[in-house]
Amino acid sequence: MGAHRAEVDGRDDAYLVCALLHDIGDTLTPHNHAELAAAILKPWVPEPYHWMVKHHAVFQGYYFWHHLGMDRNGRDALRGHEYYQVGEEFVDKYDMLAFDPDYPAPPLEHYEPLLRSLFR
C-alpha cells in the first residue's frame, strides 16, 4: 500500500490521504480516474498534491504504456511544470511500489481517523 510507505517516510496527513484515495475512481471511470480523484480531493489538499493526483496516471504510464503501443514518455509533456517532481516522486516512490503483494501494510481501518480528521 503506497499510503503506508508514505506514512513510514513521514509524509503529512494530506499527502497520505492522496496516497489512499488517488485511485478512487478506477472502477467508475478508468480512463480518467485521476481527474475524478483530483476533483474530490481539491478542496481538502494543497495545490501541489491536487496536481499530483490529477496527473498521476500519465506519470504511471511510464511503466506500462509502451506495452500497449502508447508513448511511455507521455509525462514529458508535463516537464517544466513547477509540480513535475512532486508527481514523478509520488508515482516512483509510492504508487508503483503499492503493487507489491508482499509489502506488510496496516488494514484500511488504520487510516479512518486520518480521513475523518481531514474531511471534517
What number of other Cβ atoms are within 10 A of residue 67's Cβ?
A: 8
Residue span of the structural domain in which 66 resides: 2-118
Cell numbers at 115, concatenated: 480521513
* pLDDT tens digits, 29-83: 878 999 999 999 999 999 999 999 999 999 998 888 889 998 999 999 999 999 9
pTM of the model: 0.91
The total of structural domains in the chain comes to: 1
